[in-house]
Amino acid sequence: MTAVGQTIQVSVTSEYLPSHSQPEDNRYAFAYHICIENRGPTAAQLLSRRWIIIDANQERQEVRGEGVIGEQPIIEPGAEFQYSSGVVIETSVGTMQGSYQLIDNQGNPFDAPIEPFLLSMPHAVH
């Protein structure tokens, strides 16, 4: 999955974490790996994030916060910032989507949308 906001491209992959999951307790853990690439001519700083997480029961969580993994990285033109994080939901399948709020080096704020991506145990979705 890839999304483009201004000159920022966001790519996401996700994976099920069986060692951190407890299906008998409706606890399914997933990692997601993000690559944020600046394809524009000026630097951009990631200020905050917003995630919407929806499980198969249509239970919705909204998460907002400053930066990512405790950082507010400045991404130079042609550079990328990568990180991994995780989420726990109550079903074996769900989705995440959201956006990053950034500011360019002229002080102009903009959003980089993140299209929905799948959280799924292997073989849960055909």
Residue type, 41: P
Q: What is the pTM of this model?
A: 0.89
Tokens of 84: 């991994």
Domain boundaries, the chain: 2-118
For the 2-118 domain, the top CATH level (class) is mainly beta
The span from the CA of 55 to the CA of 39, in Å, is 33
Q: What is the pLDDT of residue 6?
A: 60
Burial class (CB in 10 A: 0-12, 13-18, 19+), 67: middle
**For residue range 48-85, what is the model confidence (pLDDT) as tens digits?**
999 999 999 999 999 999 999 999 999 999 999 999 99
Q: What is the pLDDT of residue 7?
A: 87
